[in-house]
Amino acid sequence: MKKLLLFTIILCSSLLCQAQKSRVISGDEQTSKYFPILKGKRIAVFSNHTGMIGEKHLLDILLENKFKVTAIFSPEHGFRGNADAGEHIASSVDSQTGVPILSLYEGKEQKPSEASMKKFDILVVDIQDVGLRFYTYYITMCRLMDACAEYHKKILILDRPNPNGFYVDGPILDMKHKSGVGWLPIPIVYGMTLGELALMINGEHWLPEARTCNLDIIKCENYTHQTKYELPIPPSPNLPNMKSIYLYPSTCFFEATPVSLGRGTALPFQIYGHPDMIGYSYSFTPRSISGAKNPPQLDNLCHGVDLSTMSNEEIWEHGVDLSYVINAYRNLNIGDKFFRSFFEKLVGVDYVRKMIEEGKSADEIKAMWKDDVEKFKQQRKPYLLYQE
């Protein structure tokens, strides 16, 4: 009996050890690697509610360890992650710590002001991205990289896995459509972590005036580009679960149409519909809720499609899937009233709208960006930190 008990204990210990070895360890967990870099520095933090190390926020851990944190920069949705999409985040103070939250937009060219940049020596980036060109956290990082390059400030990126990092899909952004939802000449799904993307920004000289930023990156451990990493914390109010994150590359295009994509419901980015769509038994009504105060089709009964029951494997197989937008376009049959100019900012090129209007299929359109995908995969290779 004692031998059996001992064997069970050894087996359990071995399994626990294996689980620890295979668990993805993000950069912020590896304090022994970056605490020495921060010693004696005035620190600014670019983060939000996702910057958690276990049960504690990075900010709290830095303060507990007597580091001098002088400033916070917060992205879209705010430092605590509860603002609406696109809502302006003004300068304020974090109520829990008293650390100043500085505006990203007070200086020239929508960058932090000179006064803000003088408040710190090093910027620590710890934020959970989802790896899509129209998800704005990487754009905020770009602006901060530009400001840090201009003012000779170092950036330390505590890298995190990309939940959509296992594939590349979509057209490369035509830079004439550069906007707040598309900043770099990259595909819709670019398959890189923020650390890797920062290296590419430097290496491809994508900052203004070909400036480069002084970077340090703490890599994730036990992560590759085939890892299906599930986020422990929703990255923003309208991406509440992994299904929404996987469908987001395909359903975000509805933002440029009159069709609701489920903002103001329990299934944002996982359903779509419109009051005038016909032939569907599924229906929903968007309401004003936290994180979606004034959603499209507010209080209107919408008829459409529930994608939330799809398997993850089916979503992954299709990647960027235009069939949902094409379906709604044909069903509503309202011609030029369907697409707004914002559509080109999201999709990044002119030909997609034209091909949809010409009656082309999702597969025919997808074939148009196949070369873009292969070109980008080669271009990004020198900057990858993790095995493909």
Q: Is the pLDDT of residue 207 over 60?
A: yes
Q: Is the pLDDT of residue 13 over 50?
A: no
Q: Is the pLDDT of residue 82 over 60?
A: no
The predicted model gives 240-253 an average pLDDT of 98
Residues 6+ apart with CB under 8 A from 109: 146, 208
pTM above 0.85, yes or no: yes
Q: Is the pLDDT of residue 15 over 70?
A: no
Q: Is the pLDDT of residue 46 over 90?
A: yes
The structural domains of the chain, with segments of one domain joined by +, span: 27-231, 242-368
Dihedral, CA atoms, 298, 299, 303, 306, nearest 10 degrees? Answer: 70
pLDDT of residue 95: 79
Q: Is the pLDDT of residue 158 over 60?
A: yes
pLDDT of residue 8: 44
Domain 27-231: assigned CATH number: 3.40.50.12170
pLDDT of residue 185: 98
Q: Is the pLDDT of residue 57 over 80?
A: yes
Model confidence pLDDT, tens digit, residues 175-185: 999 999 999 99
Instruction: Tell me 182's DSSP state.
Output: B
pLDDT of residue 78: 65
Confidence of residue 18 (pLDDT cuts 50, 70, 90): very low
The predicted model gives 227-253 an average pLDDT of 97
The answer to whether the beta carbons of residues 296 and 258 sit under 8 Å apart is yes
Least confident of 110-124, 206-220, 243-257: 110-124
Amino acid at 130: V
Domain 242-368: assigned CATH number: 3.90.1150
pLDDT of residue 94: 84
The predicted model gives 81-103 an average pLDDT of 70
Instruction: Give dist(CA 299, CA 295) in Å, integer.
Output: 9
In the chain, alpha helices (H): 2-22, 31-38, 58-64, 114-117, 137-150, 194-203, 242-251, 312-318, 323-332, 342-347, 351-357, 362-368, 370-380
pLDDT of residue 16: 40
In 306-369, alpha helices (H): 312-318, 323-332, 342-347, 351-357, 362-368
pLDDT of residue 251: 98
The predicted model gives 274-292 an average pLDDT of 96
Q: In terms of pLDDT, which residue wins out, 81 or 140?
A: 140
The predicted model gives 329-353 an average pLDDT of 98
Number of H helices, E strands in the chain: 13, 12
The predicted model gives 56-73 an average pLDDT of 97
For the chain, give the mean pLDDT.
92
Share of the chain above pLDDT 70, in %: 89
The answer to whether the beta carbons of residues 216 and 157 sit under 8 Å apart is yes
The predicted model gives 83-108 an average pLDDT of 71
pLDDT of residue 2: 53
The predicted model gives 275-286 an average pLDDT of 98
Share of the chain above pLDDT 90, in %: 84
